[in-house]
Amino acid sequence: MRLKIVQAGDPVLREKAQPLKTDEIVKDEVQRLIRDMQETMRDAPGVGLAAPQVGVPLQLAVIEDQEDFLKNLPAEELALKGRRPVPFHVLINPQIVRTGDDKAEFHEGCLSLAGFSAIVPRANTVRVEYLDERGEPASVEAAGWYARILQHEIDHLHGTLYIDRMHSRTFTSLDNWNRYGKRKAVSDA
């Protein structure tokens, strides 16, 4: 079932989400939420979705950067962003346990700030520990665009939006970004 994505201004987006206990993760209600979030993210379309974005204040996010999203992007852009397909997976109670010293600045958007974008500095590498959809401990080392997605979704679980981290002078509607900024280098924005 496709869920409604809440927009900036909804209080749930500014709350710290509640962690899930292992026995709660395997319950039908949480498993249904995971499936519904996957469908909602794919339908949007997006590369990540956190439970607070669908009005549920739980420490749960889904991520998938489909190969179809990348096929029309220039090879130079994919290389610059370190963007590769990421298979669907679930993060429960995730924690960033390490970030690299190197930063990257790129335009970022959000399904809960529909129609807008801004340049956001993020760590280019991260290590995240989490529970998977079965409640099993897991971890991932990520770089490039995948590291950005992880940081963005984990921020949602702590009541933080990309607008809290953005370079405010770069905030723009997607229409204006397509019109004026799409071909500009990030350093020129």
Please say if the pLDDT value at position 114 is more than 90: yes
Among candidate residues 135, 52, 64, the one with its CA nearest the CA of residue 93: 135
More reliable by pLDDT, 12 or 185: 12
Residue environment code for 105-114, b if the CB has 16+ CB neighbours within 10 A, otherwise e: bbbbbbbbbe
Question: What are the strands of the beta sheet with 103-108, ordered from one edge?
Answer: 103-108, 116-123, 172-173
- Among 151, 54, 148, 140, which residue's Cα sits nearest to residue 106? 148
Closest CA to 145 of 72, 47, 45: 47
Query: Does residue 147 carry a pLDDT above 60?
Result: yes
Binned at pLDDT 50, 70 and 90, residue 25 comes out as very high
Question: Looking at residues 33-51, what average pLDDT do you find?
Answer: 98
Please give the model's pTM, rounded to 2 decimal places: 0.94
For the chain, give the mean pLDDT: 95
Where does residue 127 fall: left (phi above 0), alpha (psi -120 to 50 degrees), or beta otherwise? beta
Q: Which of 64, 108, 133, 153 is catalytic?
A: 153
**Residue 179, pLDDT above cutoff 90:** no
The mean per-residue pLDDT over the stretch 47-71 comes to: 97
Of the candidates 75, 4, 16, the residue with the CA atom closest to the CA atom of residue 40: 4
Mind listing the pLDDT tens digit for each residue in 64-107? 999 999 999 999 999 999 999 999 999 999 999 999 999 999 99
| Confidence tier at 186 by pLDDT (50, 70, 90) | low
Which tokens sit at 89? 């997976």
Q: Per-residue confidence at 189, pLDDT binned at 50, 70, 90? A: low
Q: What is the mean pLDDT of residues 115-125?
A: 97
**φ and ψ at residue 131, rounded to 5 degrees:** -105, 145
Instruction: Identify which of 90, 17, 108 has the alpha carbon closest to the alpha carbon of residue 54.
Output: 17
Q: Which fold has domain 11-184?
A: Peptide Deformylase (3.90.45)
Other Cβ atoms closer than 10 A to 33: 19
Q: In residues, how long is the chain? A: 189
Q: Is 129 a catalytic residue?
A: no
End-to-end CA distance of the chain: 39
Asked if residue 188 has pLDDT above 70, the reply is no
Q: Which residues on neighbouring strands pair with residue 104, listed in sequence order?
A: 122
In this prediction, residue 48 carries a pLDDT of: 98
